[in-house]
Amino acid sequence: MISAHILSRQATRPGHGGPRFTTHSTALLVQRSLGQGLPLAHKRTIRAWESTSSSTASTGSHKESGHIDTAPHESLLFFNNLFPLKLSSILIWRPWTSEDLLQRFEQSSYSFIDPIRLVKRAINTHDQVPIEVTQIIPRLKDGGAFVKFTHPSDMSAAVVESKLSELLQNNPIKPWFNPFGRVKAGLVEGVPWLEDLYRLPRSRIRVEFVAAKDDASPAELSQETLYSIFRKFGKITEITSQPTDSKVLPRFAYIDFVLVRDAIMARNCMHGFVLREQGSKNATKLRLSYEQRVKAHHIWAWFTSHPRIVIPLVAALIAAFTVAVFDPIREFFVKAHVQKYFEFTNSRLYKWFKSQTSDILAFRRRKTEDAGLNALFTHRKDLIDSIQTGLLESVDTFTVVHGPRGSGKKELILDQVLKERSNVLHIDCKPVVEARGEAGTIGRLAFEVGYRPVFSWSNNISSLVDLAVQSTTGVKANFSENLESQVVKILQTTASALKQVGLSERKKEDKDADLSEDAYLEAHPERRPVIVIDHFLHKSEEKGVIYDRIADWAAALVQSNIAHVIFLTDDASYSKPLQRSLPDRVFRSVTLGDLSPDVAKKFVISQLQTDTKFAHDGQQKDSESGDQDNDNKNQKKDSNTPAPLDPALLKELDTCITALGGRLTDLQVLARRLKIGQSPRKAVQEIIDSTASDILRMFLLSKSSSSERKYTTEQAWYLISHLAASPSSSIPYNSVLLSNTFASSPETALEALANAELITVKSQNGMPSEIKAGKPVYQAAFQKLASDEKVKARMDLLVLTELAKMETQKIEKVEQELVMLQGLMARRPGDVSERVEYLLEKMKGGQAKLKGLEEEMGVVKGRLIKG
């Protein structure tokens, strides 16, 4: 029966436009749904009910009207609770006849599942009710049946109903499908309408008041009258009268029953009932129908009427759901990123394959670079040991590695200092700050720390939702987050994952297993992960908020003993943002400068010797194919010694290495040029020419507006020309500040040029003292640019024009002040005469300077015309 109940709800669900079943299809559906898996007696009962169907529907004596005709001394009883309501919904279109039912009523064998058994038990087993059943009309969708009966003339139908109800009350009959309910019987006082429309029973009944005669007007019954009429059918929860100002006709009222079966009994017994109230001339007929109750959505109404409370609450629930579901997943991916779970190069298969094929798959270029870097790192071994020792100490401060671009900071830390460390998180700030838009910045930062999944696009949608909610309700929903809050969220999740990484090697067998997590990390600094923040303060003027949040996050990590933090930066002003985040600590600073000429020469020679050695190895391998094994061993032993370089090349390298300087990137470029066969002199000259072209394009001929950069072309040329002419390759810092070219915002311009690496500001006792070229090779490039007459003439003309413009502005200001003092001269000449004389002398000197500048401009223009 459970399967039949489910099938009935799916077949003709009320209000969902279920299919209409024909006589044959309904019988087949019931047979298939109810007949599977039932006892044999149940199947026979189902087949018996199937046999009662006919080709046409019979709803009484008049098939078209749907009404039941009764003869004198005949009445109708409605028996409720004979069929399950849920099952009857799929049989709503099933036509039935009553002839076979009456025959089966007389021959009923009291089958357990037969509904006729219930009717027979209710009527024929009680001698106190002398009636004779003449017709049985089933109402499947109402879950009951009409029973037409005759009664003696000396007994009214009301008496029959009273006795029958009393007997059923004292001897309840419970149907098999509803053991907690019982069969009820009620006298039909009206004219029931046996329609086969798709109107399923409801607990609410609509009672319409219509006229009993066409020419009369009905009376609207009061709630007291309706209650007295319908209360006998069951508990009533509410009676709702039609509003007095309503124009809907006919007038009506709603009666809400507690149980649906009570409403069914009332509708089938009282439909068409005619009554006349006292004092009313016309009779009123009651027309009853089921009404779908409109549920009051109190919760939804409260939500929609309180947006100021609901919207923030929904935002908080969404945030809580996100934290509960996605944060553990993101922490897992951050841990996997730090510990390199999914990297193929970290797998055992790759390590085994590499160990087995290291001699076969030896790449020449990689070994050449490693040999050169090893020579460099040998020179910096003390520095490497110092940083490694600091990582073994429990000191809650930063390690800052500062040096110009190309000085080998990243290679020093990642390839040497942290070579044996497994839990290393490398964060490159350069792609983060160069990403376009907030979504790109968030996505790139998440990629750097392994934070996934990340929905960077959702913030744009949340911003639109915020705007829509604020425009409609006046309250900001705070669904969207700004860039700063999203960065903090990513970094906090990363911090939680890093703490788990530091505790991952903790075991219960350890001696200090009883320590708390914070105490354990403090006692074991060697197990903390290391965070390397590369390109710190790169383009800090554009997205300084990101660097502030990263610095605060790093300070929290070192103070909580969660991780070691190493900053790699080429910005000399790194101490300002780091001091704000960690004001009471002294940083462990490491400065990487340019290599000395001797070390630079050794670096280049080591790369050249390695390359020569590989070429020598290849020649030997070709010549060893036909030799014996002993000869092969001797030759391989000889091949391990570096091949000697040409003494002429070494002598020429000594003279060129000084001009090139000791910047690591420049030395690598020189080594590559020497490997392809260029002489040291030619290679260095081409490097200088290329560098001079880059400086000319970026600083002197750039079309960038003054708002995009904080220095002028004239200021850049001033430094280039003075550094090129300086014998010591440096100029005093204060002399630059006092020059006319740097009259406006001198320190801002110098800082911008230093960040652009055109110059380097050297300090002494914490104060800027002198200015040098940004790289050693820049000094040679400056001299080349200064020796170019065309470039020099063009740049000198720009400087002279700017100085002339400044002198003209000064003279104009003096003239304006003299005009203002003219009125005072007439009234009090003694008080302003001294000021006037000063201004006149100043204007005279300015005019002389302006004249001299114009003369120089004429000479420069002549050089440009001749050139």
Selection from 458, 519, 454, 527 nearest residue 487 by Cα: 454
Mean of the pLDDT values across residues 74-92? 77
- Residue-wise DSSP of 558-620: HHTTS-EEEEEE--TTTHHHHHHHSTT---EEEE--PPPHHHHHHHHHHHHHHHHHHHHHHHH
Looking at residue 32, its pLDDT comes to: 33
pLDDT band, very low/low/confident/very high, at 112 (cuts 50, 70, 90): low
pLDDT band, very low/low/confident/very high, at 29 (cuts 50, 70, 90): very low
Looking at residue 57, its pLDDT comes to: 34
Q: Give the C-alpha separation, 511 to 529, whole Å.
A: 21
Number of H helices, E strands in the chain: 33, 17
Looking at residue 633, its pLDDT comes to: 43
Full strand arrangement of the beta sheet holding 759-764: 730-732, 767-773, 759-764
Looking at residue 360, its pLDDT comes to: 58
pTM score, two decimals?
0.59
Helix (H) or strand (E) holding 533: strand 530-534
Name the pairing type of β-strands 588-591 and 399-402. parallel
Looking at residue 552, its pLDDT comes to: 93
| 663 contacts 594 by C-beta, under 8 angstroms | yes
pLDDT band, very low/low/confident/very high, at 100 (cuts 50, 70, 90): low
Rg of the chain over Cα atoms, rounded to whole angstroms, equals 50
Q: Give the C-alpha separation, 429 to 518, whole Å.
A: 29
Written as six digits, the tokens of 696 are 């000319």
Worst-scoring range by mean pLDDT, 202-206, 554-558, 840-844?
A: 840-844
Name the pairing type of β-strands 132-139 and 204-211. unpaired
Mean of the pLDDT values across residues 514-527? 88
| 721 contacts 728 by C-beta, under 8 angstroms | no
Mean of the pLDDT values across residues 563-569? 93
Written as six digits, the tokens of 503 are 């505790």
Looking at residue 5, its pLDDT comes to: 31
Worst-scoring range by mean pLDDT, 76-90, 345-359, 749-763?
A: 345-359
Selection from 705, 609, 618, 610 nearest residue 650 by Cα: 609
Looking at residue 541, its pLDDT comes to: 73
Worst-scoring range by mean pLDDT, 34-43, 345-354, 495-504, 778-787?
A: 34-43
Looking at residue 368, its pLDDT comes to: 47
Classify 356 as helix, strand or coil: helix
* The pLDDT of residue 235 is above 70: yes
Q: Give the C-alpha separation, 666 to 33, whole Å.
A: 87
Q: Give the C-alpha separation, 818 to 825, whole Å.
A: 10
pLDDT band, very low/low/confident/very high, at 287 (cuts 50, 70, 90): very high
Looking at residue 568, its pLDDT comes to: 93
pLDDT band, very low/low/confident/very high, at 505 (cuts 50, 70, 90): confident
Q: Give the C-alpha separation, 710 to 719, whole Å.
A: 15
As beta bridge partners, residue 144 has: 139
10 Å CB burial of residue 822 (0-12, 13-18, 19+) is: exposed
10 Å CB burial of residue 429 (0-12, 13-18, 19+) is: buried
Name the pairing type of β-strands 399-402 and 284-291. unpaired
pLDDT band, very low/low/confident/very high, at 290 (cuts 50, 70, 90): very high
Query: What average pLDDT does the chain have?
Result: 78
pLDDT band, very low/low/confident/very high, at 209 (cuts 50, 70, 90): very high
Taking the alpha carbons of 576, 577, 580, 582 in that order, is the dihedral positive or negative?
negative
Q: Of all residues in the chain, what percent carry a pLDDT higher than 70?
A: 77
Residue of higher predicted confidence among 448 and 675: 448
State pLDDT tens for residues 670-707. 888 888 888 888 888 899 999 999 999 888 887 665 55
Three-state DSSP string of 221-270: CCHHHHHHHHHHHCCEEEEEECCCCCCCCCCEEEEEECCHHHHHHHHHHH
10 Å CB burial of residue 122 (0-12, 13-18, 19+) is: buried
| 724 contacts 782 by C-beta, under 8 angstroms | yes
Residue 452 neighbours by CB distance under 10 Å: 17
Looking at residue 237, its pLDDT comes to: 94
pLDDT band, very low/low/confident/very high, at 431 (cuts 50, 70, 90): very high
* The pLDDT of residue 58 is above 90: no
Selection from 529, 563, 590, 606 nearest residue 384 by Cα: 590
State pLDDT tens for residues 794-821. 888 888 888 888 888 888 888 888 888 8
Q: Give the C-alpha separation, 263 to 253, whole Å.
A: 14
Alpha helices in 482-567 (DSSP H): 483-502, 517-523, 544-559
As beta bridge partners, residue 771 has: 731, 761
Looking at residue 103, its pLDDT comes to: 53
pLDDT band, very low/low/confident/very high, at 91 (cuts 50, 70, 90): low
Mean of the pLDDT values across residues 385-397? 86
Looking at residue 171, its pLDDT comes to: 83
As beta bridge partners, residue 762 has: 770
Q: Give the C-alpha separation, 355 to 855, whole Å.
A: 76
Q: Give the C-alpha separation, 360 to 618, whole Å.
A: 13
State pLDDT tens for residues 703-741. 665 556 788 888 899 999 999 998 888 999 999 988 888
Mean of the pLDDT values across residues 655-681? 83
Q: Give the C-alpha separation, 604 to 662, whole Å.
A: 10
Looking at residue 1, its pLDDT comes to: 32
Written as six digits, the tokens of 90 are 């799929």
10 Å CB burial of residue 447 (0-12, 13-18, 19+) is: middle
Worst-scoring range by mean pLDDT, 19-33, 550-564, 586-600, 668-682?
A: 19-33
- Return the axis-axis angle of helices 597-623 and 647-660, rounded to nearest 10°: 140
- Residue-wise DSSP of 679-739: -HHHHHHHHHHHHHHHHIIIIIS----TTTSSS-HHHHHHHHHHHHH-TTSEEEHHHHHTS
Mean of the pLDDT values across residues 146-157? 86
* The pLDDT of residue 641 is above 70: no
Looking at residue 137, its pLDDT comes to: 86
Dihedral, 486, 487, 492, 493 alpha carbons, nearest 10: 70
Q: Of all residues in the chain, what percent carry a pLDDT higher than 90?
A: 19
Q: Give the C-alpha separation, 703 to 660, whole Å.
A: 29
